[in-house]
Amino acid sequence: MYLKTKQKMPTVDGPFKKAEDNAHQFAFNMLYAHALEESIRLIDIAQRAYDKAVEDEDIYAITQKKAELDFCLKNLRFSSIAAATDVDELPL
């Protein structure tokens, strides 16, 4: 688990500042793209399982798979909100 410390990372000045900012933004975008792809994959799996449960008319499975699908969709929504805001502003 990540623990916040009061120790600050050294800052980069001069001509490398923009390169550092660009590298940080690129890394964040790559991480977010992977998380988005994984979320969509899990939503697809949950949707297929839900559709099969509806087809089989299994009330217990329908309830369970609907909860899984809702959970995946809520995670996708939360990660989209987090990506749209400054990560440092989110309460941990």
Judge whether 56 lies within some domain: yes
Q: Which domain holds residue 78?
A: 41-85
Residue 20 lies in a domain: no
Within a domain: 72: yes
H/E/C letters for each residue in the chain? CCCCCCCCCCCCCCCHHHHHHHHHHHHHHHHHHHHHHHHHHHHHHHHHHHHHHHHHCCHHHHHHHHHHHHHHHHHHHHHHHHHHCCHHHCCC
Residue 55 lies inside a defined structural domain of this protein: yes
Q: pLDDT, tens digit, for every residue of 41-85? A: 999 999 999 999 999 999 999 999 999 999 989 888 887 777 776
pLDDT in tens, 20-33: 888 888 888 888 88
Does residue 68 form part of some domain?
A: yes
- 59 lies in a domain? yes
pLDDT band at 35 (very low <50, low <70, confident <90, very high): confident
Domain count, the chain: 1
| pLDDT of 91 strictly over 60 | no
Residue 19 belongs to a domain = no
